[in-house]
């Protein structure tokens, strides 16, 4: 069978609303349902828009069924009052299962970036039957260090300063000001690969337009109560694992990726040259797509 090679050839579902407990999640699929499924899990305060259409299409063109979704408080998924999220980190793990159920997927390859990588680790440890494989991007072992899990380097000082910056927030009702704030807030996390302001502005604008409450989106994930850490159980993971980590990550320096690859049996580490703590920039898509397609290929 010849796989589709252009975006016009890639089937794409409408945005679909799915139940998960007391919440509703917005999700979308690219590709053919009979192909091996990949579930894309976004990072904190990021809607599924950051898994760009073209990136999803390229994965689908490689013969994968690609599903992305909005975490709670992002995009069209259920929103909560700013500062008062009515859910926990454990609920975000359950939400991923609800998305799989909504698309009739028994087990998927789960690809998570940053916070999404933490969700993916919990899925692999707590629900191994639902995880055919893992791709962990720009993330870290979920849990404290110990005798068999050494302490990892802290974030760079410029990132600490960004988190403690008490500059006034924008008028979130002013679309242009809010989008520009989102774009500039991402800049310190970029690596030496040139940061594409225009591309980031397009994605941030789309997220702003789709998100029910942008203030909640930018607030609630940072104050969630998490579930039980799973770092001490990473050795139990049996799903084939690919770790992709930027060599210039200022929030979770490269040794965080090395630790994941060391603590998960058989994991493979792929360095992303010049990439920071960010979604893989377009300049690295050839490397990322090839690695993910090879990693998720059905056994022969």
Encoding tokens for residue 73?
């408080």
Beta-strand relationship, 241-246 and 131-137: parallel
- Whole-angstrom distance, CA of residue 225 vs CA of residue 217: 16
- Whole-angstrom distance, CA of residue 231 vs CA of residue 15: 34
What residues contact 199, with CB distance under 8 A and at least 6 apart? 282
For residues 98 and 70, the answer to whether their CB atoms sit within 8 Å is: no
Residue with tokens 């929103």: 79
Residue 196, Cβ density class (10 Å: 0-12 exposed, 13-18 middle, ≥19 buried): middle
Q: Among 6, 214, 252, which residue's Cα sits nearest to residue 115? A: 252
- Whole-angstrom distance, CA of residue 114 vs CA of residue 258: 15
Encoding tokens for residue 220?
């609630």
Encoding tokens for residue 71?
């975490």
Catalytic positions: 114, 249, 277
- Whole-angstrom distance, CA of residue 16 vs CA of residue 6: 23
């Amino acid at each position: 069978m010849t796989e589709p090679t252009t975006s016009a050839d890639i089937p794409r579902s409408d945005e679909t609303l799915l139940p998960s407990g007391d919440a509703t999640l917005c999700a979308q699929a690219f590709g053919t349902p009979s192909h091996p499924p990949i579930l894309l899990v976004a990072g904190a305060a990021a809607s599924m828009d950051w898994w760009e259409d073209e990136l999803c299409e390229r994965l689908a063109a490689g013969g994968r069924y690609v599903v992305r979704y909005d975490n709670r408080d992002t995009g069209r998924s259920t929103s909560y009052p700013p500062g008062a999220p009515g859910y926990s980190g454990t609920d975000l793990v359950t939400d991923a299962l609800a998305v799989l159920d909504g698309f009739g997927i028994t087990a998927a390859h789960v690809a998570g970036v940053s916070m999404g990588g933490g969700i993916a680790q919990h899925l692999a440890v707590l629900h191994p039957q639902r995880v055919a494989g893992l791709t962990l991007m720009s993330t870290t072992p979920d849990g404290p260090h110990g005798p068999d899990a050494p302490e990892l380097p802290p974030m760079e000082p410029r990132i600490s300063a960004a988190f403690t910056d008490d500059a006034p927030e924008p008028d979130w009702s002013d679309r242009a000001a809010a989008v520009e704030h989102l774009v500039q807030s991402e800049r310190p996390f970029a690596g030496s690969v040139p940061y594409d302001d225009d591309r980031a502005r397009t994605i941030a604008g789309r997220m702003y337009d789709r998100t029910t409450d942008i203030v909640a989106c930018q607030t609630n994930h940072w104050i969630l109560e998490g579930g039980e850490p799973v770092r001490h159980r990473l050795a139990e993971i049996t799903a084939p694992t690919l770790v992709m980590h930027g060599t210039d990550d200022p929030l979770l320096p490269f040794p965080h990726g090395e630790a994941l690859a060391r603590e998960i049996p058989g994991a493979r580490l792929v360095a992303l040259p010049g990439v920071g703590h960010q979604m893989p920039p377009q300049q690295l898509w050839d490397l990322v797509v090839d690695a993910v397609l090879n990693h998720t290929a059905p056994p022969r």
